[in-house]
Amino acid sequence: MLQQQLDQEQATRDIVKKIDEDTKNVFEIFTNIVKSTQELFIPYLGELVAHIWPTLKSPVAF
């Protein structure tokens, strides 16, 4: 009986550890996506603002 409980506890710990590792992997993937997006988008941000800014300054825009 005690051995069965110990086995169940170990199985539960293994499952929790696997979930923790999977969560860490998903977080790392998400972080890499955000970094890549920033690296691709930031160089064009100034150009985008330069095209949009005159429109935003116009009183007719609002």
| Range 12-25 average pLDDT | 96
pLDDT in tens, 23-54: 999 999 999 999 988 888 887 888 888 888 88
Domain coverage including residue 37: 32-62
In a domain, residue 49? The reply is yes
Q: What is the pLDDT of residue 52?
A: 86
pLDDT at residue 60 greater than cutoff 70? no
The answer to whether residue 15 sits within a structural domain is: no
Per-residue confidence (pLDDT) for residue 8, from 0 to 100: 96
35 burial type by CB count under 10 A (0-12 exposed, 13-18 middle, 19+ buried): exposed
**Residue 38, domain member (yes or no):** yes
Number of folded domains in the chain? Answer: 1
Angle at 58 between CA 55 and CA 59, to 5 degrees: 140
Is 13 inside a domain boundary? Answer: no
Tokens of 35: 């970094």
Rounded-to-integer distance, Cα 33 and Cα 3, Å: 45
pLDDT band at 61 (very low <50, low <70, confident <90, very high): low
- Asked whether residue 1 is assigned to any structural domain, the reply reads no
pTM assigned to the model: 0.54
In a domain, 47, yes or no: yes
